[in-house]
Amino acid sequence: MATSYLQTYKEIQDKLASIIRNEFRGYSVYFDENYINRKPSYFNITKIKDDLISNLVPQVQFRNYGFRIKYYLRQPQYSKDLTLNALFRVGDRINQLIYNNSNVKFFTSSGDDAKNYYYTDAQFLNYTVQPDRDESENITELQMAQFDFDVKAFEVA
């Protein structure tokens, strides 16, 4: 019998991207390590944490995963009404989406012994519209909102 392997963090990341895409239709979601000048506005998700909370029984772990979400908005002229309010609207909506999706099925395995996998205790953390920038983000007309997504998940081998 073949051993199946589930990339839990990848499945959770894909579920988060799906939630964002469904809410913000027309906006793309990428998984780049650094800013890439792709579109006037888009979301980017990176993994920032993968911690073991507990080994529960043989071949079962309870883990904590963290993701950083950045919303990029390129506007040549900064305007409080157009720029800052747009960043706050996005951040506030993401906060509500995470609250509404704090315990979600993120994957269903296939086969005779199909299993549902859930994440739990999702949290929206460290929200800012003035994040520290890396070298790739040091662009005058680039505005950003940044927040972290933190969840717990069971991993069954």
Any domain includes 1:
no
pLDDT > 80? residue 155: no
* pTM for this model (two decimals): 0.88
Any domain includes 132:
yes
Any domain includes 108:
yes
Burial profile 9-23: b = 16 or more Cβ within 10 angstroms, e = fewer: bebbbbbbbebbeee
pLDDT score of 56: 84
CATH number reported for the structural domain that contains residue 104 in this entry: 3.30.2000.30
Count other C-beta atoms under 10 Å from residue 70's C-beta: 18
Please tell me whether residue 28 adopts helix, strand or coil conformation: coil
* Dist. CA 20–CA 29, nearest whole Å: 8
pLDDT > 70? residue 2: no
Q: How confident is the model at residue 116 (pLDDT cuts 50, 70, 90)?
A: confident
pLDDT > 60? residue 16: yes
Any domain includes 3:
no
Any domain includes 136:
yes
Q: How confident is the model at residue 47 (pLDDT cuts 50, 70, 90)?
A: very high
Contact yes or no for 82/50 (Cβ under 8 A)? no
Determine the structural domain holding residue 23 and report its residue range: 8-156
Higher local confidence (pLDDT), 108 or 151: 151
Q: Number of structural domains, the chain?
A: 1
Any domain includes 95:
yes
Any domain includes 145:
yes
Mean per-residue pLDDT for 77-100?
87
